Structure 1
Amino acid sequence: MALSKMDNLYRQVILDHSAHPHHHGKLDDSTNEIELKNPTCGDVLQLDVKVDDNKITDIAFSGYGCTISQASASMMTDAVMDKTVDQAEDMVEAFSDMILGEKSNTDILEDSAVLKGVSQFPARIKCATLAWKALHKALNKE
């Protein structure tokens, strides 16, 4: 019974982030930006990042997509705010490992760790990782 209640809590966190995303919008003064698309399901994500002194000082996303992609983007923006670029890259790697079912340091992922269950649904992995891939590409100006 306890596992069922925990699953419900995780679902609620995901639904809340999707319905009321954090850092949603655009930045006028971004230093790094990128648009990525998930051709599998049609998700589109525009990510704007402001990096000052090797630290993420502001971040915003816009676009549209499924509940998982929007929630993941919201959680990711919360998690990486005020982190150094290296810390953010470590988080990108940890999130990717977690979603692929590999051993990962989920402690650094904050709320994003609740998306671990997505690893059981291969069709949704690209939805969950879209924002994180965008962050990696934006930080590396790919």
Structure 2
Amino acid sequence: MSFTHLKQKVTTILADESENTDQRLKEVCELLQSSIGYYDWVGFYFANEVEKTLHLKAFAGEPTDHTVIPFGKGICGQVAVSNQNFVVPDVKAQDNYIACSITVKSEIVIPLFKNGKNIGQIDIDSHMEDPFSEEDERFLEWVNEEVANIL
């Protein structure tokens, strides 16, 4: 499914005010994970500024033990500090990587901003090496902008 078609579906999911925010986030994760062949795990983490940790709020894919991640640790934790997109073509090449599964080969993490503040992120794992393009980055930035509107 093209990113254009996915945008329409994401917009529809997020606009459904009959469901709570957590359920809409889970549906977005499920949509992306089931629609894009190389998105094997999709999740939203949100920051707890006091504790300097990220907390998994919604996901699609295999369950993970990594439901709380300290700022600075792993790819997600680094994005919480840097406020920058992080595309990892090969996770084996990263020193500061938290292995969720031996099948994960690459990862992309895009920060989620609300009123200019990094409040969380979307995290995607792939079982393929180097599948993520600039088009993925732009699409996921758009997803996060749309999600911020319902938070």
- TM (normalized to structure 1)? 0.34
Q: Which has the higher contact order (CA 8 A, sep 6+)?
A: 1
Structure with higher helix content: 1
TM-score (norm 2): 0.32
